[in-house]
Protein backbone atom coordinates (compact mmCIF):
# COMPACT_ATOMS: atom_id res chain seq x y z
CA UNK A 1 0.00 0.00 0.00
CA UNK A 2 1.13 3.56 0.06
CA UNK A 3 0.07 5.67 -2.89
CA UNK A 4 -3.53 6.42 -3.79
CA UNK A 5 -4.68 8.68 -6.65
CA UNK A 6 -7.59 11.09 -6.39
CA UNK A 7 -9.38 13.62 -8.61
CA UNK A 8 -8.01 17.11 -7.87
CA UNK A 9 -11.14 19.03 -8.89
CA UNK A 10 -13.53 17.05 -6.66
CA UNK A 11 -13.94 16.89 -2.92
CA UNK A 12 -14.47 19.02 0.12
CA UNK A 13 -12.91 22.47 -0.14
CA UNK A 14 -10.78 23.00 2.96
CA UNK A 15 -8.09 25.45 1.97
CA UNK A 16 -7.48 28.34 -0.39
CA UNK A 17 -3.71 28.61 -0.32
CA UNK A 18 -1.28 25.71 -0.32
CA UNK A 19 0.44 27.32 2.70
CA UNK A 20 -2.26 26.19 5.13
CA UNK A 21 -3.25 22.95 3.36
CA UNK A 22 -1.40 20.53 5.68
CA UNK A 23 -2.88 22.18 8.78
CA UNK A 24 -6.43 22.16 7.36
CA UNK A 25 -6.17 18.51 6.25
CA UNK A 26 -4.81 17.56 9.70
CA UNK A 27 -7.77 19.28 11.38
CA UNK A 28 -10.19 17.62 8.95
CA UNK A 29 -8.87 14.13 9.75
CA UNK A 30 -8.69 14.75 13.51
CA UNK A 31 -12.31 16.03 13.63
CA UNK A 32 -13.57 12.51 12.88
CA UNK A 33 -10.67 10.84 14.71
CA UNK A 34 -10.39 7.61 12.68
CA UNK A 35 -7.65 6.30 15.00
CA UNK A 36 -4.30 7.86 14.00
CA UNK A 37 -2.02 9.02 16.81
CA UNK A 38 0.16 10.93 16.42
CA UNK A 39 -0.87 12.23 12.98
CA UNK A 40 1.53 14.09 10.73
CA UNK A 41 0.41 15.60 7.42
CA UNK A 42 2.57 17.20 4.73
CA UNK A 43 1.24 18.80 1.54
CA UNK A 44 3.05 19.84 -1.60
CA UNK A 45 1.65 20.45 -5.10
CA UNK A 46 -1.47 18.33 -4.58
CA UNK A 47 0.37 15.47 -2.88
CA UNK A 48 -0.42 14.60 0.75
CA UNK A 49 1.97 12.53 2.83
CA UNK A 50 0.58 10.94 5.99
CA UNK A 51 2.59 9.60 8.91
CA UNK A 52 1.74 8.29 12.35
CA UNK A 53 0.40 5.18 14.04
CA UNK A 54 -2.93 3.77 12.91
CA UNK A 55 -4.88 1.79 15.49
CA UNK A 56 -6.21 -0.51 12.75
CA UNK A 57 -6.24 -1.10 9.00
CA UNK A 58 -9.66 0.55 8.92
CA UNK A 59 -8.23 3.71 10.53
CA UNK A 60 -5.37 3.65 8.00
CA UNK A 61 -7.79 3.43 5.06
CA UNK A 62 -10.14 6.07 6.44
CA UNK A 63 -7.33 8.60 6.99
CA UNK A 64 -6.18 8.11 3.39
CA UNK A 65 -9.70 8.57 2.03
CA UNK A 66 -10.33 11.62 4.21
CA UNK A 67 -7.13 13.27 2.94
CA UNK A 68 -7.74 12.24 -0.66
CA UNK A 69 -11.34 13.41 -0.84
CA UNK A 70 -10.24 17.01 -0.34
CA UNK A 71 -10.41 19.41 -3.27
CA UNK A 72 -6.90 20.09 -4.55
CA UNK A 73 -5.45 16.70 -3.54
CA UNK A 74 -4.30 14.45 -6.38
CA UNK A 75 -2.53 11.71 -4.45
CA UNK A 76 -1.93 10.45 -0.93
CA UNK A 77 1.18 8.62 0.19
CA UNK A 78 0.98 6.75 3.48
CA UNK A 79 4.29 4.89 3.75
CA UNK A 80 4.89 6.69 7.06
CA UNK A 81 1.56 5.51 8.44
CA UNK A 82 2.01 2.28 10.40
CA UNK A 83 -0.57 -0.39 11.20
CA UNK A 84 -0.22 -2.89 14.07
CA UNK A 85 1.51 -6.08 12.90
CA UNK A 86 -1.30 -8.16 14.39
CA UNK A 87 -3.93 -6.35 12.30
CA UNK A 88 -5.47 -8.67 9.73
CA UNK A 89 -6.26 -6.86 6.53
CA UNK A 90 -10.00 -6.87 5.90
CA UNK A 91 -11.28 -7.46 2.40
CA UNK A 92 -12.04 -4.02 1.03
CA UNK A 93 -12.45 -2.58 -2.44
CA UNK A 94 -12.28 1.08 -3.33
CA UNK A 95 -14.94 2.62 -5.52
CA UNK A 96 -15.05 5.98 -7.30
CA UNK A 97 -18.57 7.37 -7.33
CA UNK A 98 -19.98 8.02 -10.79
CA UNK A 99 -22.72 10.41 -11.89
CA UNK A 100 -26.10 8.85 -11.12
CA UNK A 101 -24.80 6.62 -8.32
CA UNK A 102 -26.47 6.24 -4.95
CA UNK A 103 -25.35 4.18 -2.00
CA UNK A 104 -28.32 1.87 -2.66
CA UNK A 105 -27.22 1.34 -6.25
CA UNK A 106 -23.64 0.61 -5.13
CA UNK A 107 -24.90 -1.79 -2.43
CA UNK A 108 -26.98 -3.63 -5.04
CA UNK A 109 -23.88 -3.95 -7.24
CA UNK A 110 -21.60 -5.28 -4.48
CA UNK A 111 -23.96 -7.09 -2.12
CA UNK A 112 -26.93 -7.94 -4.33
CA UNK A 113 -29.30 -5.97 -2.06
CA UNK A 114 -29.89 -2.21 -2.27
CA UNK A 115 -31.05 -2.18 1.36
CA UNK A 116 -27.49 -3.03 2.48
CA UNK A 117 -26.41 0.57 1.76
CA UNK A 118 -25.93 1.27 5.52
CA UNK A 119 -22.86 -1.06 5.44
CA UNK A 120 -21.23 1.28 2.93
CA UNK A 121 -22.35 4.39 4.79
CA UNK A 122 -20.99 3.11 8.13
CA UNK A 123 -17.66 2.18 6.52
CA UNK A 124 -17.32 5.72 5.19
CA UNK A 125 -18.83 7.95 7.90
CA UNK A 126 -15.69 10.07 8.00
CA UNK A 127 -15.99 10.76 4.26
CA UNK A 128 -19.79 10.67 3.78
CA UNK A 129 -21.73 12.71 6.34
CA UNK A 130 -25.16 12.09 4.77
CA UNK A 131 -25.96 8.94 2.74
CA UNK A 132 -27.98 11.06 0.31
CA UNK A 133 -25.08 13.44 -0.36
CA UNK A 134 -22.39 11.74 -2.41
CA UNK A 135 -20.69 13.24 -5.44
CA UNK A 136 -19.00 11.98 -8.62
CA UNK A 137 -15.26 11.54 -8.19
CA UNK A 138 -15.48 10.77 -4.46
CA UNK A 139 -13.54 7.63 -3.50
CA UNK A 140 -15.03 5.34 -0.85
CA UNK A 141 -14.36 1.96 0.83
CA UNK A 142 -16.55 -1.03 0.11
CA UNK A 143 -16.16 -3.66 2.88
CA UNK A 144 -16.47 -7.15 1.42
CA UNK A 145 -16.47 -9.18 4.65
- Per-residue pLDDT, averaged over 92-107, amounts to 95
67-79 tens-digit pLDDT: 999 999 999 999 8
Name the DSSP class of 140: E
Contact 7, 137 (CB under 8 A): yes
Check whether domain 3-82 has CATH 3.30.1340, yes or no = yes
What percent of the chain clears pLDDT 90, i.e. is strictly above it? 70
Mean pLDDT of the chain: 89
Quick one: pLDDT at residue 88? 62
- The pLDDT-based confidence of 6 (bands split at 50, 70, 90) is confident
CATH of segment(s) 92-143:
3.10.350.10
Domain ranges in the chain are 3-82, 92-143
Contact 136, 98 (CB under 8 A): yes
62 SS3 class: helix
Contact 142, 93 (CB under 8 A): yes
Beta bridge partners of 44: 47
Contact 107, 119 (CB under 8 A): yes
- The pLDDT-based confidence of 121 (bands split at 50, 70, 90) is very high
DSSP assignment string, 72-109? T--EEEEEEEE--TTPPPP-EEEEE--TT--HHHHHHH
86-95 tens-digit pLDDT: 766 668 899 9
Amino acid sequence: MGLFDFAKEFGKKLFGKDDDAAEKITQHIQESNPGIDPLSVAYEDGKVTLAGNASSMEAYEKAILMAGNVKGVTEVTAEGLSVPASEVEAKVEYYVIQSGDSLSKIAKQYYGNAMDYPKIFEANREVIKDPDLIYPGQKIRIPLD
